Structure 1
Amino acid sequence: MPLTLVTVACLSDNYAFIVHDQTSGATAVVDVPEVAPIKSALDARGWTLSDILLTHHHHDHVGGVAELKRLTGARVWGAAQDASRLPPLDRAVTPGHEESFGGESVQIINVPGHTIGHIAYFMSASKILFSGDSLMAMGCGRLFEGTPEQMWQTLKTLSALPDETVVCSGHEYTKSNAAFALSLGHENDALKARAIEINAARSKGLATVPSELGLEKATNPFLQASEPALKAALGLPNASDADVFAKVRALKDAF
C-alpha cells in the first residue's frame, strides 16, 4: 500500500512533509521548521512519529528538531557528511546507499548546490522525492555553498527519476518562480497554463507544493538549461548547459 503523504505549512513559507505507512504504523516527518503545526497534524490523525528525516542544516529546516524529538522520541536521520552542522543524528546516512522506512526502500541522493552536504530522499515504491531546497517547484535553491556546476548535476540527477515522481520541496516560492520563468522569453503552452493555475491557487491560499516531476521538466527553467529554445532566448546558443544554468540562476537572484 502506498505511503500516505501530508503537507504541513510552517513558518511563513516553509513546508514539512509527513509520511505514514499504514501497514507498520511507521510515521516520518521530513524537515522540522517548527513543531506546533507538525504536532497538530500528527495528533489529528492519531499517528505516532517514529522518524525525523533532515535534508540540510539550515535553521528553517531543523529549528524544531530538538523539541520534536523530546516530545516523540523519534529517530533523527541526516547526512553523515554534514553531521557536524545538523542536530544530533540517530541514523547517519550516506548518499548512494538505500535505507528502509516502513515497508519501503529509501534512496539517499547527494544533491549539493544550495548547501554542501544537502541530501534528498526518494521513496521509490511510492515515487515520492523529498528534495528540500535543491529542486523546487518551478525553481531551485540559491547557491549558498555550492557551484553552478554542482547544482546543474544535482538537477540532472533528480530529473532522471520517473516523470510521475511527486516532488516535495521546502518552500512556497512557486508564484514568483513562475513569473521569473515567463520573463525569460522561452515560454510554452505548458508554462503559461501552469502560471495561471499557480496564480489561481495562491489567490485562494492553496499550496502549490508538492508538484510532479514531469511537469517540472516541462515548465521549470532550471531543468531546461540544455534546451536550444532557452539558450536562444538568453542569447547563449553555443554555451555549455552548466553555463546556461549559471546564467538562469544569476538572473533569478536579481529578479
Structure 2
Amino acid sequence: MKVIPVPCLSDNYAYVLVDETAKKVYAVDPVEPEKVLPVIKSTNLDFTAILTTHHHADHSAGNTKIFNAAPSLEVYGGEDRIPSMTQELKDGDSFTLGSLKVHALKTFGHTTSSICYYIEDGDDRIVFTGDTLFVGGCGRLFEGTPAEMHESLNIKLAALPKDTKVYAGHEYTRSNFKFALSVDGDNEALKAKALKCQQLDCTMPSTIAEELATNPFMRVDQPALQAVTGETDPVKVLGAIRRLKDRF
C-alpha cells in the first residue's frame, strides 16, 4: 500500500490510500474534494471508500459532495455526526478494503466520534490518527477527559507494533515540538527529531516508536514530565500537560 498526503485548508491533511494489489484507492478525511479527487483520478484505480476520523468539519465536510457524485462509495465513521456515513464502526471492528485489513480503534478524548484506523498490508502497518495523536502532541480535550485520552494514546495506540507509521490530521509538528522541548528539554530523541522536522515540509509519517520516545503525552510515566507537572499519576500528568499546552 501507498499513502499520499494531500495538504488541505491551512494545515490539514487528507490522505489518499492506494491499494496496489487490489487496484483500488480510498480517501481519508477528504475535506477539500477539489484537491483530493484529482490525486485519486491520477492513480487510475477504482475509488471505493472514505475513512472519516471524526465529525469536525475540517475533516468531514467533503464527504457529502463526494458521496453525492459517487453514491456507491462506502463512508466509514464512528457515529451519526459523520456526514453521509454508510458504515458506523464500533471499537474493535475489523473489515477489509480490497487487500487491506482495517481495524477501527475508538479513541475518545478529542471527540466521541474519533476513530483511528489501523491498517495492515502484510508486514506494512499504518495508522490514521486524525486529531487524537499528532506528531509530538495530541488533540484538545473538547469532548473527553484526560483519562480517556490517556487510554487512547497510552493503552490503545501505544500497543500497536512499534514500526507502525503514523499519519496525523494536521501539520502541527513544529509548534508541538516547541512545546514539548519546554517540558522535556533533556530528551535527546526529541531534540534530534525536532531538528530533523525543521527541514521537512511534510513531517508525516512518524512511527509509534518515535512517538513513544518524543511525544510528551505518551511519556506521562517519565520522571521529567512528572517533575514538570508535580504529578505522578499518568492520567493527572497528561491532564496537566494538556492544560500547559492549551496556554502555551
| TM-score normalised per structure 1 | 0.92
In the alignment, the residues of structure 2 paired with residue 138 and residue 152 of structure 1 have an alpha-carbon distance, to the nearest angstrom, of 15
* 8 Å contact from structure 1 (residues 136, 170) kept in 2: yes
Aligned residues: 244
Counterparts of 1:51-66 in structure 2, within 5 Å, are: 51-66=49-64
Counterparts of 1:7-26 in structure 2, within 5 Å, are: 7-26=5-24
3-state SS of paired residue (2:198): helix
3-state SS of paired residue (1:50): strand
Correspondence for 2:40: 42
In the alignment, the residues of structure 1 paired with residue 13 and residue 225 of structure 2 have an alpha-carbon distance, to the nearest angstrom, of 30
1:170-218 deviation per Cα after TM superposition (whole angstroms, max 9, x unaligned): 00000000000011144311111111112222xxxx1112211111111
* 8 Å contact from structure 1 (residues 49, 72) kept in 2: no
Amino acid aligned to 1:122: Y
Greater CA deviation, 29-38 or 139-148? 29-38
Correspondence for 1:30: 28
Correspondence for 1:220: 215
* 8 Å contact from structure 1 (residues 186, 230) kept in 2: no
Correspondence for 2:238: 245
In the alignment, the residues of structure 2 paired with residue 25 and residue 58 of structure 1 have an alpha-carbon distance, to the nearest angstrom, of 30
Cα gap change, 1:72 to 1:48, in 2 (>3 Å): farther
* 8 Å contact from structure 2 (residues 184, 224) kept in 1: no
1:77-127 deviation per Cα after TM superposition (whole angstroms, max 9, x unaligned): 112xx21x1112222222112111111221111100000121111013331
Correspondence for 1:122: 118
Note if 1:98 corresponds to 2:94: yes
In the alignment, the residues of structure 2 paired with residue 44 and residue 26 of structure 1 have an alpha-carbon distance, to the nearest angstrom, of 12
In the alignment, the residues of structure 2 paired with residue 68 and residue 232 of structure 1 have an alpha-carbon distance, to the nearest angstrom, of 49
* 8 Å contact from structure 1 (residues 155, 223) kept in 2: yes
Correspondence for 2:151: 153
Quote the sequence identity (%): 39
| TM-score normalised per structure 2 | 0.94
| Structure 1 segments unaligned to the other structure (5+ residues) | none
Correspondence for 2:135: 137
In the alignment, the residues of structure 2 paired with residue 185 and residue 124 of structure 1 have an alpha-carbon distance, to the nearest angstrom, of 33
* 8 Å contact from structure 2 (residues 136, 173) kept in 1: yes
3-state SS of paired residue (1:108): strand
Structural RMSD (CA)? 1.3
Amino acid aligned to 1:40: P
